[in-house]
Amino acid sequence: MTLTTCTIEVSREFSASEETVFDAWLDPQKAGKFLFATPAGIMKKVEIDAKLGGRFSIIETRDGVDVDHVGIYLAIERPTCLRFSFGGDPFPTTNVTLNISKTESGCVLHLTHEEVWIEYEASVIQGWTSILENLAQLV
């Protein structure tokens, strides 16, 4: 059986600089406050090896269950591009790309998430939108 997939694209403007927004994704202290963090969850572990080929693991406890978000950094081009694989049970590994560009008042982040199962399209869009909103509040 072949699952139908789609590509998700979400953008968000920030009043912060490209460097500030980019760096938040690789800083364990900051990432733990916005990346895969949910209002009712408890952040349990944030490990980030911020180098090409480095891995990340972000574990949040949700309703008593540990949810582990894992990936490998595929491209790190500070401050304009970050690309990583992304997975977590029960979902297969996919790729996420962040492109950040300077604006007059800060920057804009364009996120592309490839090969998302089509039945999860709406929830993935909502998830990334929430993550970017949390990031905007942080920076």
Q: Tell me the domain boundaries of the chain.
A: 7-138
The CA distance from 138 to 130, in Å, is: 12
Third-level CATH fold of 7-138? Alpha-D-Glucose-1,6-Bisphosphate; Chain A, domain 4 (3.30.530)
Instruction: Work out the percent of the chain whose per-residue pLDDT is above 70.
Output: 96
**What dihedral do alpha carbons 102, 105, 110, 111 form, nearest 10°?**
110
Is it the case that residue 122 has pLDDT exceeding 90?
Answer: yes
Is it the case that residue 108 has pLDDT exceeding 70?
Answer: yes
Residue ranges of E strands in 41-90: 42-48, 55-62, 65-77, 81-88
Instruction: Work out the percent of the chain whose per-residue pLDDT is above 90.
Output: 76
Mean pLDDT of 35-52: 89
Mean pLDDT of 70-89: 93
Residue 36's φ and ψ, nearest 5 degrees, are 65, 15
Is it the case that residue 90 has pLDDT exceeding 80?
Answer: no
* Burial of 39 per CB tally in 10 Å (0-12, 13-18, 19+): exposed
